[in-house]
Amino acid sequence: MLDVASRKPNLVARLLRSLRLPLNDPFALFGLAIYVVFVLTAICANYLAPYDPTEILYTPSYDLAADLRPGQEGFVLGTTSLGRDIFSQIVYGTRSALLIGITAAFMVALIGSIVGLISGYFGGWVDALLMRLADIAFGIPFLPFVIVLAAFLKPSVWNVVIAMALVLWRDTARVIRSQVLTLRTRGYVDAARVAGSSDLKIILRHITPNILPLSFLYGSIAIGWAILTEASISFLGFGDPESISWGYMLQDAFASQALAKQAYYWFVPPGICIILVVSAGFFITRGYENILFPKLGR
């Protein structure tokens, strides 16, 4: 008789298949293309940015390069009121945005998935305890919580990551739990349990591959939320002053009255970058609707 395990697909292949991107959806393709462009920009920032983003520059005539318009003196997007190159800040700001977004998304997806798996699979008092913790997290207003956290801790870009890891896992955990509640009653799970498989093996082999698309879905949403939150915190003055980010650029432009000077080239580019990255996450989630909810396509 053939070994039952030999007929099961490789676990790694199942995991990769569950994480497949919906490349047949134009929204998902557009969102993925945006991510690829920004990732390549972050990787090649040293080669794309002509200047250090914090360097105070001077014109060839040794005058301070302050408030220069796009194209003047060779500056692509002009300069700030302190003579810093705006294009270089945009390029280097991509690194901060993706570092915060990807790290926070990973933490949110990881914590939420683990909590949802444990809560949904074991049930009972474990489920009740974890869901009460989720209820507490739902009762915490997110942005004020980040501001309070940044006020108590040293200003850093990691404040957003910590806050999202402590609070925003709640949404992922709730959805994963509801999915696990249905998966644990499937026939193949009962068969594995009768065959003597441990709870850990059942969770890793039979349940986790089926909830990974949901984890990836909420992770992609968390990338946009993390970048948007960092921009909000920096704009309010609670960000890291030593780190160049798009939010820092908006705060710097606001403090320098760029709008009154009609220096649109200063604050419009970082705003567009934030909109594109946040929208990319939602475009990818739009593509996952056909995978997670196939009845919607009918």
- DSSP code string of 146-182: HHHHHHHSPS-THHHHHHHHHHTHHHHHHHHHHHHHH
Q: How far apart are CA 156 and CA 153, in angstroms?
A: 8
Where is pLDDT greater, at 65 or 277? 277
CB 221 within 8 A of CB 214: no
Mean pLDDT of the chain: 79
Half-sphere exposure of 88 (CA within 13 A, CB side): 19
Instruction: Give the per-residue pLDDT at 96.
Output: 85
The whole-number pLDDT of residue 256 equals 83
* Domain chopping of the chain, boundaries: 25-82+96-297
Q: Give the residue, 68 or 176, on which the prediction is more confident.
A: 176
pLDDT band (50, 70, 90) for residue 183: confident
pLDDT number for residue 293: 53
Q: Over range 96-119, report the average pLDDT.
A: 87
Instruction: Read off the pLDDT band of 291 (50, 70, 90).
Output: low
pLDDT, average across residues 206-217: 79
- Least trusted range by pLDDT, from 18-22, 111-115, 186-190: 18-22
Is the pLDDT at 119 greater than 60? The verdict is: yes
pLDDT in tens, 224-242: 788 888 788 877 777 777 7
Q: Which of 113-127, 140-154, 201-215, 274-288 has the highest mean predicted lDDT (pLDDT)?
A: 113-127
Q: Which of 51-65, 127-141, 250-264 has the lowest mean pLDDT?
A: 51-65
CATH classification code of 25-82+96-297: 1.10.3720.10
Give the pLDDT confidence score for residue 292 in this predicted structure: 56
pTM, rounded to two decimals: 0.77
Instruction: Using the predicted structure, report yes or no on whether residue 18 has a pLDDT greater than 60.
Output: no
Measured between alpha carbons, how far is 228 from 245 in angstroms, rounded to an integer? 11
Q: What pLDDT score was predicted for residue 90? A: 92
For CA atoms 178, 183, 186, 190, give the dihedral sign: negative
Where are the alpha helices (H) located in the chain, listed in sequence order?
4-7, 11-18, 26-43, 45-48, 86-122, 124-138, 142-152, 158-167, 169-183, 187-194, 199-202, 208-235, 246-255, 264-292
Cβ count near 42 (within 10 Å): 18
The confidence score (pLDDT) of residue 40 equals 92
Task: Calculate mean pLDDT across residues 136-158.
Answer: 81
**pLDDT value at residue 6:** 42
Q: How far apart are CA 168 and CA 73, in angstroms?
A: 46
Residue 144 token pair: 């004020």
Query: Which residue type sits at 164?
Result: M
Give the contacts of 231 (CB within 8 A, at least 6 positions apart): 245, 246, 247, 250, 270, 274
> What average pLDDT does the segment 108-120 reach?
88
Say which range, 93-97, 198-202, 285-289, has the weakest mean pLDDT: 285-289
